[in-house]
Amino acid sequence: MIDRPPICAMVGGMSENEAQRMILASGSPRRREMMAEAGVDFEVVPSDADELHDDSMDLFALCEVNAELKAKVVAERHPGRLVIGSDTLVAIDGVKLAKPADMEEARRMLWRLSGRTHEVCSAVALVRTGERPVSETFHVISKVTFKELSDEVIDAYYREVDPLDKAGAYAVQQCRELIIEKIDGDYHTIVGMPVAETLERAKLLL
C-alpha cells in the first residue's frame, strides 16, 4: 500500500495576501489540486511557453529550463506577482520519457518501465518581474519501481487511466496498485510538483 501524504500537514500557514500574490502557471489539474489541498488561495494562469525538447541535456537541467520558461512567460504579463512554473519528466537508462504521442507509444513506455526502477524529476521555477524581481529554480528527484507488467494489466490500467497527458504514460495517483511496486522519495514530486517545498520557498520570496 502506497500512502498518499496530505499536503496540508506538511506546509505551514500562509497569509491570504501572500497567497493572492501567487500565480500557478500551469493548466495541470493535478498541480491545481495539490495547491488547493495545501490550503492556499492562488490564481491559475496557464503558460503558453514553447517547451524545450533537447535530448543532449540531462534530465534535471531540461526540467528546470522548461519550468523557468513557463514561469517567465506568465511573470512578464503579471509584474509584481510571484509565478510558479513546473515541469515533470520521467527517465530510465538515461532516456527521457515525456508525454506519449499516442496509445501505442504509451504502451511502449510502460513495457520499458515494467519490473524496473526509474526516476521522476519535477522542477519548479519561482519568478517575479517588476520592482522586486526574483528568479529561483530547483528540482526534486523521486524513484518509482514498477511491478512486472503484462498485456492484460496494461489493458486494465488504460481502461481507467488516460496516459496521453502524463509524463511516462502513467499517473501515480490513479490505479497505482496495478502497476507500481514502491516509491522512494516525495510522492507529490511524482504527481507533478513538490508542493510542500515549493510553498516553503515561495513564502521566503513574497
Q: Which three cell numbers stand for residue 138?
A: 530547483
Q: Are 76 and 151 in contact (CB under 8 A)?
A: no
Low-confidence ranges of the chain (pLDDT < 70): 1-20
State pTM to two decimals: 0.86
User: Which entry of 3, 50, 87, 151 is annotated as an active-site residue?
Assistant: 87
Q: What is the pLDDT of residues 50-106, one digit of tens each?
A: 888 888 888 899 999 999 999 999 999 999 999 999 999 999 998 999 899 999 999
Q: Is residue 86 part of a domain?
A: yes
Q: Which three cell numbers stand for residue 52?
A: 524545450
Number of domains composing the chain: 1
Estimate to the nearest angstrom the gap between the alpha carbon of 54 and the chain centroid: 19
DSSP letters, 69-113, are HHHHHHHHHSTTSEEEEEEEEEEETTEEE---SSHHHHHHHHHHH
Q: Is residue 1 part of a domain?
A: no
Task: Check which CATH number belongs to the domain holding 121 and give it.
Answer: 3.90.950.10
Q: Are 80 and 131 in contact (CB under 8 A)?
A: yes
Q: Is residue 2 part of a domain?
A: no
Return all residues near 204 (Cβ < 8 A) that are at least 6 apart.
Answer: none
| 3 catalytic residue (yes or no) | no
The reported pLDDT for the residue numbered 77 is 96
Q: Is residue 58 part of a domain?
A: yes
Q: 99 lies in which domain range?
A: 7-205
